[in-house]
Amino acid sequence: DAMVIQNPRYQVTQFGKPVTLSCSQTLNHNVMYWYQQKSSQAPKLLFHYYDKDFNNEADTPDNFQSRRPNTSFCFLDIRSPGLGDAAMYLCATSTTSGPYEQYFGPGTRLTVT
């Protein structure tokens, strides 16, 4: 089945220690998104890629970076995690020009100690 896969599902890192979360997709969608979701809140968009074209949300901290080496894979790098970065990180994909449905992966739960 076509899907969005996120690894790992759970990640524990220390305060200030860089961490990388990964996302892969078999849907062959050209748009990929990274969201941060804190407890019981709606997902908050961090950035997205149209193909290799990177688009950062204005309020995404510089501490968050992303890479998309090819259509299938996308990475979220947190350079110096703080306690406030503990959250669920969701990857999603969509096509470029509608329908505007986004398909989400299962998420990575990040804990910062």
**List of residues contacting other proteins (CB under 8 A):** 4, 6, 31, 40-43, 45, 48, 88, 90, 92, 94, 96, 98-107, 109
Closer to other proteins at the Cβ: 45 or 73? 45
Q: What angle do CA 110, 53, 8 make, to 5 degrees?
A: 20
CB of 4 to other proteins, least distance (A): 8
In this structure, the chain runs to a length of 113
Which is nearer to other proteins, 32 or 78 (by Cβ)? 32
**Which CB, 15 or 50, lies closer to other proteins?**
50
Instruction: For the CB of residue 62, give the shortest distance to other proteins in the complex, in Å.
Output: 21
**Long-range Cβ pairs for the range 50-54 (8 Å, 24+):** 50/96
Residues linked to residue 65 through DSSP beta bridges, in sequence order:
77
Q: How far apart are CA 71 and CA 93, in angstroms?
A: 11
